[in-house]
Amino acid sequence: MTAFFVPAEPNLDWSSPQGLTTTALRNYLLAVANPYLHPIGHSVVSLHCPRSQRERTIWAAVTGGSNRGDLERLLFDGLGAGILLMEFDGRLQEGDEAKEVVSRRVWNGKARWIRAEISDEACVRAISYYRFFKTNRVYRRFRADYRPLNGNGSGCAGFVLSFFEVIGVSFDYKDFSREIRIPLNLFSTSSRRVSVWSLMLSSRAREWSRAGEESVMLSIIDPSEVYKWIGNHSDFTKGENFLSGIEKSGVNIDARDVPLPDISAFPIFTENHIENLDAE
């Protein structure tokens, strides 16, 4: 099983609301002209499971909206910082569409991976989980901070990393996350509209929330942070690349002996799901 992570292209400036808004707007403008770019980063999972009686190979990713639609929302909807907490109508990318996200990027180092060697039982569970995720359309509720196994929807990196969680492979998510406190007065209300220009130009947007100020906490798994973490912990594997024989950056994990977790620990599953998830 392999998870691929693509950083924001170009990098986002998370140092302040102003910096984030300005660089996000730049990235979306570039991406409308060049759909190959991913303005806020992206994540893809790949899995081959020979023992599965149904689907045996998957390439999948989750995305919300479109580059043009997100740009129009940012420019014209007047949501202020609320766009960071907006729930989008998500879409599942499968097969060649998902594979294309990383295929060219592996060649130039713009995609890094976490690859886990897993047991047959873990592989079957991961495939079954994917089938559950797809059948129940969990991807339709897309938000940056959503994690599928919590039962509230999905973000792109949260989706990919949930495959590791459901088979018992754990990470310190602090290494992958960004936590920011957004000043409450940067959100639009029914009586006050905060435009994108306010987020870019107002003096209050030059920093995140000050001590004691009313704020909203946002904690997201950021593909760019996972990409960075992989670069700091990578193996360089020659001749084993899924597409080529060149050396690229990735982390390899032997998880064949990791016990499967009790599926009832995950809020997303009901008793009926628990009984059937590992059944083929």
Q: How far apart are CA 280 and CA 270, in angstroms?
A: 18
Q: List C-alpha distances in Å: 216 to 13, 95, 185, 186.
A: 19, 37, 10, 10
pLDDT at 55: 67
CA 181 to chain centroid: 20
pLDDT at 52: 65
Task: Spell out, as residue ranges, where the chain has pLDDT lower than 70.
Answer: 52-55, 236-248, 271-280
Given a contact cutoff of 8 angstroms between Cβ atoms, the answer to whether 251 and 234 are in contact is: yes
Q: How far apart are CA 257 and CA 122, in angstroms?
A: 10
pLDDT (tens digit per residue) in 40-86: 999 999 999 887 666 689 999 999 978 898 889 888 888 999 999 99
- Residue 65: what pLDDT? 79
What is the model's pLDDT at position 246? 42
Which residue in 235, 230, 258 sits closest to 113, CA to CA?
230
